[in-house]
């Protein structure tokens, strides 16, 4: 999926491109005007030159001993001649010409006014009642060169303007979008269970209604989740007492009933009530995990908490749990002790219930607050493994369960800012299942790890 481009990038590039196109359009328009003015100036220079040379040429020809003899005007020094001229009579006979004049570029018969050939611009004028003509020629390349230089003079500033405008536009857009970026960072910094309103000052008028709608949605979502959690917790809590009373009555009934089908039926009812009681307990744990309060005000040492929970389970599981503690005396994290106990009990219960009965469950904690719970048993398929942390999803096992243990663990892990990783087969084994929980180490005011 193609990642969306940022508004800052689109505005910066769009505004710079738009300004560049406008500059190019203005440059082309200015160049056309300059070219027109240059042509007028060059034409005026041709006409002025002809009017100045023609009286001198008439005087020169009139004072000759042989007026009809062609005279070549010598140059004072070698130079590039942009304007060349011919002085001819009405029949086209050349009477005078500039030193670099080429008769082939002029009209065969002298004419008055402006005319243009393939490579030259010509101007002709007459004197002595049309008996003497002068024509001046100017190369069109001279005009084109002047037009090109004018165009380059207009375009050269654009080379510096493009990066400057891009940088200026980017900075201006970034400054203008500071409140939007702050709003984005506020949204990204939100934890999973934080549904409080997002307040960012001085949002643009286009974004402010969206922020209000998001806060309204968060409020509705918070109320809906609170109602759901309250219902779950209250329902589970209210069920505990009648379930316990009913379970006690059915146990008494089972013991008072003689051997036979009725006792078997009572035993099945007792097992169902036990499963219902466990489900009620899981729902209460899930409601607590989703309701917040998972972080402790003071850092907690995970080692004694871990040892206590494992010792409880070893008493009821025939010492099936092997505990490995870190070498250092303490490992501190900010998780609430009760939340840590609920998390660890669910992970151990899951390992004991679905793991191989003839293999121990390995529980370990590292110096870096990495909790590992490993059990034996068949490999869990990858599609099932990806969904195990969802509610009411169980692996391919015949063991009884509600499918809430790993969902509760995931909710607690997300609430405390830790990470949960499932692996099957367990690393270093061909079978088995492993759960890894990486807690955040508690740091002191100087950013150092807290040691016991």
- Over residues 165-211, the pLDDT tens digits come to 888 888 888 888 888 888 888 887 776 556 778 888 888 887 888 88
- Unique residue bearing structure tokens 């840590």: 340
What does 356-407 look like in DSSP terms, one character per residue?
Answer: -TTSPEEEEE-TT-EEEEEE-SSPPPHHHHHHTTSTT---S--S---S-HHH
Q: What confidence score (pLDDT) does residue 109 get?
A: 85
pLDDT surpassing 80 at residue 283: no
Q: What confidence score (pLDDT) does residue 247 get?
A: 77
- Unique residue bearing structure tokens 């020809």: 61
Predicted confidence band of residue 436 (pLDDT cuts 50, 70, 90): very high
pLDDT (average), residues 129-147: 87
Percent of the chain with pLDDT over 70: 84
**Whole-structure pTM over 0.75, yes or no?**
no
Predicted confidence band of residue 285 (pLDDT cuts 50, 70, 90): low
Rounded Cα–Cα distance for residues 10 and 336 (Å): 46
The secondary structure element, H or E, covering residue 86 is: strand 84-89
Q: Which residues contact 389 (CB under 8 A, 6 or more apart)?
A: 406, 407, 409, 410, 420, 422
pLDDT surpassing 90 at residue 146: no
Q: Nearest to residue 354, comparing CAs of 331, 310, 323, 384?
A: 384
Q: Which residue has the higher pLDDT, 223 or 361?
A: 361
Q: What confidence score (pLDDT) does residue 280 get?
A: 67
Predicted confidence band of residue 2 (pLDDT cuts 50, 70, 90): low
Identify the burial level of 363 via C-beta atoms within 10 angstroms of its C-beta, where 0-12 means exposed, 13-18 middle and 19 or more buried: buried
Angle, vertex CA 363, rays to CA 357 and CA 366, nearest 5: 160
pLDDT (average), residues 7-27: 84
Predicted confidence band of residue 302 (pLDDT cuts 50, 70, 90): very high
Identify the burial level of 49 via C-beta atoms within 10 angstroms of its C-beta, where 0-12 means exposed, 13-18 middle and 19 or more buried: middle
Least confident of 82-86, 260-264, 289-293: 289-293
Q: Which residue has the higher pLDDT, 37 or 393?
A: 37
Least confident of 47-51, 287-291, 309-313: 287-291
pLDDT surpassing 60 at residue 346: yes
Predicted confidence band of residue 420 (pLDDT cuts 50, 70, 90): very high
* Cα 277 to the center of its chain, rounded Å: 49
Average pLDDT of the chain to the nearest whole number: 81
pLDDT surpassing 60 at residue 251: yes
Percent of the chain with pLDDT over 90: 9
Q: Is-contact 372 434, C-beta < 8 A?
A: yes
What backbone phi and psi angles, to 5 degrees, belong to 112? Answer: -100, 155
Q: What confidence score (pLDDT) does residue 365 get?
A: 93
Domains and CATH numbers, the chain: 7-161 (no CATH), 192-292 (1.10.287), 294-452 (3.30.565.10)
Q: Which residues contact 140 (CB under 8 A, 6 or more apart)?
A: 116, 119, 120, 121
Q: What confidence score (pLDDT) does residue 207 get?
A: 80
Q: What confidence score (pLDDT) does residue 364 get?
A: 93
Q: What is the CB neighbour count within 10 angstroms for residue 123? A: 26
Rounded Cα–Cα distance for residues 145 and 427 (Å): 78
Rounded Cα–Cα distance for residues 190 and 329 (Å): 34
Helices (H), 205-297: 208-256, 261-290
Q: What is the CB neighbour count within 10 angstroms for residue 22? A: 10
pLDDT surpassing 70 at residue 400: no
Q: What is the CB neighbour count within 10 angstroms for residue 169? A: 19
Dihedral angle at the C-alpha atoms of 170, 176, 182, 184, nearest 10 degrees? -70
Q: What confidence score (pLDDT) does residue 164 get?
A: 86
Least confident of 57-61, 137-141, 329-333: 57-61
Q: What is the CA radius of gyration of the chain?
A: 48
- ω before 425 within 30° of 0 (cis)? yes
DSSP strand pairing (321-324 vs 361-365): parallel
Handedness of CA 336, 337, 341, 342 (dihedral sign): negative
Q: How far is it between the farthest Cα atoms of the chain? A: 163
Q: Nearest to residue 319, comparing CAs of 356, 351, 350, 361?
A: 361
Q: Which residue has the higher pLDDT, 100 or 152?
A: 152
pLDDT surpassing 90 at residue 75: no
For 235, half-sphere exposure in the C-beta direction (CA atoms, 13 angstrom radius) is: 13
Instruction: Using alpha carbons, list the distances in angstroms from residue 249 to 97, 246, 271, 277, 279.
Output: 136, 5, 13, 14, 20
pLDDT tens, 353-394? 888 888 899 999 998 899 999 999 888 888 888 888 887 676
pLDDT tens, 206-216? 788 888 888 88
Predicted confidence band of residue 433 (pLDDT cuts 50, 70, 90): very high
pLDDT surpassing 90 at residue 71: no
Q: What confidence score (pLDDT) does residue 157 get?
A: 83
pLDDT surpassing 60 at residue 295: yes
* Cα 263 to the center of its chain, rounded Å: 67
Q: What confidence score (pLDDT) does residue 235 get?
A: 67
Q: What confidence score (pLDDT) does residue 233 get?
A: 63
What backbone phi and psi angles, to 5 degrees, belong to 225? Answer: -70, -40
DSSP strand pairing (94-97 vs 71-72): parallel
């Amino acid at each position: 999926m193609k990642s969306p481009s940022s508004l800052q990038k689109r505005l910066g590039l769009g505004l710079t491109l738009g300004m560049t196109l406008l500059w190019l359009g203005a440059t082309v328009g200015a160049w056309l005007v300059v070219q027109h003015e240059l042509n007028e100036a060059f034409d005026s220079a041709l006409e002025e030159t002809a009017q100045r040379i023609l009286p001198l040429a008439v005087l020169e020809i009139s004072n000759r001993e042989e007026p009809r003899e062609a005279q070549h005007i010598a140059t004072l020094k070698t130079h590039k001649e942009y304007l060349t001229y011919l002085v001819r009579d009405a029949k086209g006979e050349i009477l005078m010409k500039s030193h670099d004049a080429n008769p082939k570029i002029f009209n065969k018969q002298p004419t008055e006014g402006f005319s243009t050939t393939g490579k030259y611009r010509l101007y002709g004028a007459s004197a002595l009642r049309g008996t003497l003509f002068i024509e001046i020629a100017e190369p069109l390349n001279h005009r084109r060169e002047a037009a090109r230089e004018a165009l380059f003079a207009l375009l050269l500033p654009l080379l510096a303007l493009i990066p400057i405008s891009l940088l200026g536009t980017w900075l201006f857009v970034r400054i203008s979008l500071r409140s939007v970026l702050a709003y984005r960072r506020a949204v990204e910094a939100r934890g999973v269970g934080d549904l409080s309103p997002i307040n960012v000052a001085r949002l643009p008028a286009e974004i402010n209604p969206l922020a209000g709608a998001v806060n309204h949605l968060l409020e509705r979502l918070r109320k809906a989740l609170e109602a759901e959690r309250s219902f779950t917790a209250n329902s589970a809590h209210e069920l505990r007492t009648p379930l316990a009373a009913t379970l006690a009555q059915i146990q008494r009934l089972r013991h008072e009933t003689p051997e036979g089908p009725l006792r078997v039926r009572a035993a099945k009812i007792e097992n169902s009530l036990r499963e219902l009681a466990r489900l009620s307990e899981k729902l209460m744990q899930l409601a607590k995990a989703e309701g917040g309060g998972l972080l402790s005000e003071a850092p907690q040492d995970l080692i004694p908490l871990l040892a206590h929970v494992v010792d409880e389970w070893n008493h009821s599981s025939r010492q099936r749990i092997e505990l490995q503690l870190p070498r250092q005396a303490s490992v501190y994290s900010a998780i609430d002790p009760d939340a840590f106990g609920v998390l660890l009990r669910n992970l151990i219960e899951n390992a004991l219930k679905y793991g191989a009965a003839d293999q121990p469950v390995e529980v370990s904690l590292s110096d870096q607050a990495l909790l590992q719970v490993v059990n034996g048993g068949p490999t869990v398929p990858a599609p099932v493994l990806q969904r195990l942390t969802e509610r009411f999803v169980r692996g391919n096992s015949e063991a009884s369960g509600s499918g809430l243990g790993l969902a509760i663990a995931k909710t607690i892990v997300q609430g405390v800012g830790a990470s949960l990783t499932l692996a099957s087969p367990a690393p270093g084994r061909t079978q088995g299942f492993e759960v890894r929980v990486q807690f955040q180490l508690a740091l002191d005011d100087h950013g150092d790890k807290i040691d016991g």
